[in-house]
Chain A
Amino acid sequence: MKKEIGNVEIIIEKWKGIKGSLIMALHELQHLYGYVPQKGAQQISTAFKIPLSQIFEVITFYNLFKLKEPGKHTIAVCLGTACYLKGAPDILNELKVLLKVEEGGTTKDGQFNLDVVRCLGCCGLAPVMTIDGEIYGKVKKNEIKDILAKYKKKEQK
């Protein structure tokens, strides 16, 4: 943690004094930690002279910002229209069953986070999901186990 605090300072240095840059700074903070930690938000609050309550309001308004540390791997299932029609709800259910989590939840072992997003812009490949940003298109229900296994294996190595 200690080393990374330096990075928060770089983010603050970069955006401080630029009008309306709060959201950009929050994006970079989340990129660094995978979520927006309270300490970092506090630092931004002090540096930008924006009350923490207002920052909290912004974080909770936007869907992409997270307040809790997510699992090691983030799975995002697209529930946009194209994916919805092509069976994305089945994919989501399968993941829920396999991982034993609900939407937005983290598995007990802290390995996976299960998120839902609205359209990743790859609708031609529907249904689509991403794991840590890597896109999987035309996902079939029976392939999911193998896809997940890849990430579990990476862990053991």
Chain B
Amino acid sequence: MNKQVIIDKTLAGKKDNIVVSIGASSCGIAAGAEAVFKAFAEEIKKNSLRVELKKCGCLGMCSAEPLVEVKMPGKASVVYGRVNKEIASKIVTDHLLKGTILKDYVFEANKGKQLKIVLRNCGVIDPENIDEYIAREGYDALKKVLSTTPETAIEELKKSGLRGRGGAGFPTWMKWSLTRASKGELKYIICNGDEGDPGAYMDRSVLEGDPHSVLEGLIIGGYCAGAKQGYFYIRAEYPLAIARIQKAIDQALASGFLGKNILGSDFSFEVEIRLGAGAFVCGEETSLIASIEGESGRPRQRPPYPSERGLWGKPTMINNVETLANIPVVFLRGGSWFSEIGTEKSKGTKVFAVTGKVKDSGLVEVPMGTTLREIVFDICGGIAGKKKIKAVQTGGPSGGVIPEKHLDTPVDYDNLQKLGSIMGSGGMIVMDETDCMVDISKFYLGFCVDESCGKCAPCKIGGYQMLKILERISEGKGALTDLDLLKSLCQTMQKTSFCGLGQTASNPVLSTLRYFEDEYKEHIEEKKCRSHKCSGLLNYRIVEEKCKLCGLCQKNCPTEAIEGSRDKGYKIIKSKCVKCGKCYDVCRFDAVQKG
């Protein structure tokens, strides 16, 4: 098949330009992209060069930010990683002026196995410039859809096999069709940009790097569902994404892609932004609706589903950011083109934010069916340092861990579910042998307990009780019967919680129990944490050679377990030590060690 995702109409006219693009999404800026941009601007001016210098979205290799891409006329582009001011000036004098590539700073990511549909424009265009989006077939899909009926468009979408990328994988065409079929003049469409999974940032990158593609998807969705009003619900923690979406809305309004009688048709559509305020449960669709209505984000009874009774009681369609970013391509290339990518039941690509103990942490977009091993090892360079991989976690607090032995599983909705995890929104956290599975499960459950809205008892009380048990185990005070208790609590929560948060909160616990029960048992029976994570099971000691005799540890010990003085040196008395870790925290010289 023809794998070209997007046709770039700018390329022809601009072939003779030198183009320097600097990745300026949140992570790029955090790593110093602004200073690098300035350095380039100055150097280019100093050398009176004619260069198109621009800021673009995330290039995807987040651990090597700031990233700079250099395109010389007639040559393949080169990406530099970890660029600073000095390297920037070198790039100008050597690469731009003389054409010599600075090999030491080139960042080569294995891009081969990736296929960029959602990220087609991220890192390529200036997200704040609508013309660059338009030049890459932007809003062409909207034109196409507006020239047909919503029914025909939904038929096309059905052919693509696109499923929701927000977690559950519900067929997108069905959602659109159900909302369309619901009675009522007034309908709404919402883009779910809450991205609550801690440790995932795919949606942020798309919102920041290619806001128009999400907006175009939303407008098309509005047309197909029969909605006149759309909302972006974005978490307040993403200020840059919010600013860029607002800018995109303003530009689209000015260009006639939004507002009254879009592109001369009789379809009118308006979009507004609403912000989250730091509540994970607001990613759940009925809570999200409550939040847009200005209330606390507590879930509501389903059915009736939002497609029937949603925002202010009207039929409402909720789609995830990544789902919407796929929409323009589905209509540009056609449903059957799209359906050729991926596996039998999971079509298209999936974007993953691969983080944790991986070497080249970053954003990856692969066809469905790519194995976890390919993602972690071939694309992201494997584990950082000399450690061994232990597991990969997908689906965030609602997902589970997948142990090393299952890494060759092709990733799709159904396979991940069979392994006890879920696709989720695309967080992928790589863990190595220093990560303790009891600790991980405590971490995720703790998150859900914090974020539980308190509406139903199984989630509010069950979660809390499970957390207490896990804490007990991690302190070496657990009993073997606790494991059965945990399992039965997990099942109760799954079956009886009111919303998805509680129903899935036990997944991390269940999946770690399924694959790493021996580690739990070790904590209970041998009072041992093989990863040296659970502080209650550690022994602390002071290493004489490193100790500078400052006495800080002794001063901070709550139980007077540290003996000694400035001239004699210090020692921890095991019997008095409560393993709080204070001495370890306060030591400036790494002289307190765990073991």
Contacts and interface: CB of A to CB of B under 8 A. Distances in A.
Interface stretch (A6-14, A20-28, A67-75, A105-113): A20-28
A60 B396 CA distance: 25
Contact of B294 (A21, A63, A137): A21
Nearest to A145: B588
A126 interface: yes
Contacts of B26: 120-122, 135
Interface in A113-150: 117-126, 128, 133, 135-137, 142
A43 interface: no
A64 B427 contact: no
Interface string B373-400: 0000000000000000000010010000
Interface residues of A, number: 44
B296 interface: yes
Interface in A1-39: 19-24, 26-27
A142 B238 CA distance: 28
Interface string A45-65: 000000000000110011111
A135 B30 contact: yes
Interface string B263-286: 000000000001111111000000
Contacts of B276: 62
Contacts of A126: 355-356, 361
B62 A124 contact: yes
Give the interface size bracket for B toward A: 35 or more
A27 B236 contact: yes
B34 to A, nearest CB: 11
Most interface-central of B204, B585, B586 (chain A CB within 10 A)? B585
B294 A124 contact: no
Given A20-B294, A97-B586, A65 B277 contact: yes
B466 interface: no
A142 B587 CA distance: 11
Contacts of B239: 133
16 contacts: A19-B312, A20-B274, A27-B275, A58-B295, A61-B453, A65-B277, A80-B199, A81-B444, A86-B357, A93-B581, A94-B585, A118-B447, A119-B199, A124-B353, A126-B361, A136-B30
Interface of A: 19-24, 26-27, 57-58, 61-65, 79-86, 90, 93-94, 96-97, 117-126, 128, 133, 135-137, 142
Closest 9 pairs (CB-CB, A-B): A124-B62, A81-B199, A80-B198, A63-B278, A135-B30, A62-B277, A64-B278, A22-B294, A61-B296
